[in-house]
A and B are shown apart, each in its own frame.
Chain A
Amino acid sequence: MAGLIVAESAIFTIFVTAYLYYLGRDVTGPTPREVLEIPIFGTVCLLSSSGFIVLAERAIEHGKMAAFTLWWAVTMLLGAIFLADTANEWYKLIVHDHLTISTNLFGTCFYSLVGLHASHVIVGLIMMLVVLLFALGRKVHPGHAERVKVLAMYWHFVDAVWVVVFTVVYIIGR
């Protein structure tokens, strides 16, 4: 997983580089300042989910399976809220501001970078859903702690990337 994270980091680095490089080079509007709003709520949800997954990790290490299932479900819920928040943002951008991936450079970079991150959230949620279904079927036991931790590592990575994406897109980019 560490190897995968190194490779993924390199991919995100390239997209972030492209985003920064193309900032302010648009030939046509709309520009980031005109249309972007800072998604505080979604960000808080996603970042706090990292804390809840740590609670889940601790629970499975100590064999508290009910607590594990609860914290795991909370993590997933927060991740899903983040996704819904992103979807809402995209809906506004596409329908009200007429910004699509082919409108201008900003659109291309924005949807690629945020979309790449969102696709990682989706993959994470799918993997976590599988674990949750097994946990509800009482098939997960403390012996699986190691594997759960690997998955948690991926989730922490996705959150950490969001810190970078958030900084680049919503703070530097505006």
Chain B
Amino acid sequence: MGTDTPGIPIAGGIEAGIDRTRPHTTQGTYLELIHSWVVTVDHKKLGILYICYALVFLLVAGFEALLIRVQLFYPHNDFVGPASFNRLFTMHGTTMVFLVGMPILFGFGNYLVPLMIGARDMAFPRLNAFSFWISAFAGLLLYYSFIGGVGLAGTGSAPDVAWFAYAPLTERAFSPGHTVDYWAVAILASGIGSIGTAINFLATFFCMRCKGMTLMRIPLLPWLYATVSFLVLVTISPLTAAQAMLLIDRYLGGHFFDTQAGGSAILWAHFFWIFGHPEVYVLVLPAFAFANEIIPVFSRKAIFGYAAMVAASVGIGFISLSVWAHHMFTIGMTSFGNAFFTLSTMLVSIPTGIKTFNWLATIWGGKIRFETPMLFSIAFLFQWVIAGLTGIMLSISAWNWQLHNSYFVVAHFHYVLVGAIVFMIFAAIYYWYPKMTGRMLDERLGRWHFWLMVIGFHLTFDTMHIPGLLGMPRQIFTYEPDRSWTLLNQIVSIGGFLQAIAVLILVYNMVHSYFRGEEAGPDPWDAWTLEWSIPSPPPPYNFATDPVVASRRPLWDLKHPEDTDSAFE
């Protein structure tokens, strides 16, 4: 392949995009601008909407977490009281999973999947817009319960049944008023949005790839999003069905989860965790996807073991469907059941181990650039391993019996959700912000953000394991002073506040850099996937001419015509 015939035709060459960074500033009045965002079916705008929506709720749910930590700062605190405390941890959990985690990951997917596979848009742009707006509606509905839901304590109360909402607590007899209804309908609505998005991703992945992009040349990010979409289809649907049953119970007098009439509370637990555990992988696989893109670029090496990575991802997708009851070891299953779910849970550590070692092998011998996205990725690798190790501990049913519903479990899953997922989301924000806005995020503020976040994270969640081992149960609103949990809880709370400061730095950085940031140009990181071949932000039509690819790293081929990947694949 010669210098004059690049694999990807780029209009005007790779440098032409620099002056075209802000096409929308000349678009007329603010009203017209807002209107253009409301009616948009463009996957890039919807992606940004998803991300902004999720960041707003990240601040809200983070604030709820801080209130929880203030309440637990010393024994017999009466800062919020037991009823409000129940609402706070319910809303914190529900918000973080359904209104922060899923939307922000779908947002990045929306933005990146079509660009990475060289497509004009998602397969069904209008379905895409519908999915976003119904998810947004779900968020507003859930939070409207603060003023609209008549609960036990009169008007203005949020759901207080914890994010897994175990029956029969959610039945009409135990949760009068409408708070649980808001919860159920909001999750039903966001579930419909998620299913729509998942169908969209799968159709895009299979039908919209550009010329030359065979299945084994697709970047790993779209591969992982395809796996996630499959998981969403088979796991969000059971949740949707379970919510429908709950609503039948509450409104039509059904008996699905009504133990008085022979219904079963255990069945709800099964239905919830059939969704609930794969949900963890729905959230963590996109984090892996970001790592797959960022780590090679900042190590200046191609990803190690591409085929093994694809196989491991799809393997995680399948195995994760058979592990749900490890959340229910104390519910009284047979010892065969306990053994089965212990072993199937341990099985997940094989493909995840493959991935971890492949990332390490990618970094090994690379010329590492320690910029903010890479810093977050390295912290992610470390924290992910720890989270996996406590996960293996908890998968052993005998050990689990000791620690079920303790702060050890809380520390474990926050290690996954914050230490792995949130860290990779931050890495992704630093990495793709230049592509989305045309401006770089400030590197110095990025480092402040990173170090405060790492220190705060480890203060909070390393320490949190210990009160768990000492027997502190989750979801308690206060504790006795003679339990020796006080100091530990104070360290946890202080770490929480450090993380909050770190997130505020990120928010400031995003707003500041949007106006004052350095111009990014089309390819600030010297990366290799297709989205970096077009101007930042990309024009509405994405690619001026349909790209043609010949390898997994089309831009590498373009920049190094003397040493192309395509010669070796």
Contacts and interface: CB of A to CB of B under 8 A. Distances in A.
B245 interface: yes
A15 B255 CA distance: 13
B342 interface: no
Interface stretch (A1-9, A85-93, A138-146, A157-165): A1-9
Nearest to B202: A3
B49 to A, nearest CB: 23
Contacts of B345: none
A14 interface: yes
Most buried by B among A6, A9, A10, A102: A10
A26 interface: yes
B271 interface: yes
A107 B249 CA distance: 12
Interface string B237-273: 1101110110011001111100011111001000100
Interface in B91-126: none
Interface in B184-236: 195, 198-199, 202-203, 229-230, 233-236
Contacts of A9: 237
Nearest to B203: A3
B237 A11 contact: yes
Contacts of A4: 195, 199
Contacts of A3: 198-199, 202-203, 229, 233
B264 A14 contact: no
Contacts of B230: 6
A6 B233 contact: yes
B262 A109 contact: no
Nearest to B253: A102
A27 B262 contact: yes
A121 B261 CA distance: 31
A100 to B, nearest CB: 8
A3 B254 CA distance: 30
A4 B192 CA distance: 11
B141 to A, nearest CB: 21
Contacts of B252: 101-102
A108 B248 contact: yes
B238 A11 contact: yes
A104 B234 CA distance: 29
B254 A108 contact: yes
- Size band of the interface chain A makes with B: 20 to 34
B261 A105 contact: yes
Interface in A1-43: 3-4, 6-11, 13-15, 18, 21-22, 25-28
A142 B199 CA distance: 27
A27 B261 CA distance: 6
Nearest to A15: B241
Contact of A14 (B237, B249, B260): B237
Interface in A86-134: 101-102, 104-105, 107-109, 112
A139 to B, nearest CB: 21
A25 B261 CA distance: 9
B263 A22 contact: yes
Contact of A21 (B195, B249, B267): B267
Contacts of A102: 252-255
A28 to B, nearest CB: 8
B256 A11 contact: no
Contact of B245 (A18, A26, A107): A18
B261 A21 contact: no
Contacts of B253: 101-102
B261 A112 contact: no
Nearest to A102: B253
B113 to A, nearest CB: 15
Most buried by A among B235, B238, B255: B255
B238 A104 contact: no
A166 B5 CA distance: 62
B252 to A, nearest CB: 5
Interface string B271-286: 1001000000000000
Contacts of A104: 255, 261-262
B245 A7 contact: no
A107 B256 CA distance: 10
Nearest to A12: B241
A151 to B, nearest CB: 16
Contacts of A14: 237-238, 241-242, 271, 274
Given A10-B237, A14-B271, A22-B262, A108 B255 contact: yes
A6 B234 contact: yes
A11 B241 contact: yes
A7 B263 contact: no
A105 B255 CA distance: 5
Interface in B272-325: 274
A26 B235 CA distance: 29
A22 B238 contact: no
A21 B254 CA distance: 15
A13 B267 CA distance: 13
Interface string B539-556: 000000000000000000
Nearest to A4: B199
Contacts of B241: 10-11, 14-15
A10 B267 CA distance: 16
A104 to B, nearest CB: 6
Contacts of B199: 3-4, 7
Nearest to A21: B267
Contact of B233 (A10, A25, A101, A107): A10
A101 B254 contact: yes
B2 to A, nearest CB: 41
B483 to A, nearest CB: 41
A27 B263 CA distance: 9
Contacts of B260: 27
A144 B388 CA distance: 51
A25 B237 contact: no
29 contacts: A3-B202, A3-B203, A4-B195, A6-B230, A6-B233, A7-B199, A7-B236, A9-B237, A10-B238, A11-B237, A13-B238, A14-B237, A18-B245, A22-B256, A22-B264, A25-B262, A27-B261, A28-B261, A101-B248, A101-B253, A101-B254, A104-B261, A104-B262, A105-B255, A108-B248, A108-B254, A108-B263, A112-B245, A112-B248
Give the 7 A-B residue pairs with the shortest CB-CB distance, closest first.
Answer: A102-B253, A10-B237, A3-B199, A108-B254, A14-B241, A25-B262, A11-B241
Interface of B: 195, 198-199, 202-203, 229-230, 233-238, 240-242, 244-245, 248-249, 252-256, 260-264, 267, 271, 274
Given A18-B245, A104-B262, A105-B263, 17 more contacts: A7-B234, A10-B234, A11-B237, A14-B242, A14-B271, A15-B245, A22-B256, A22-B264, A25-B262, A27-B261, A28-B261, A101-B248, A101-B254, A102-B253, A105-B262, A108-B256, A112-B245
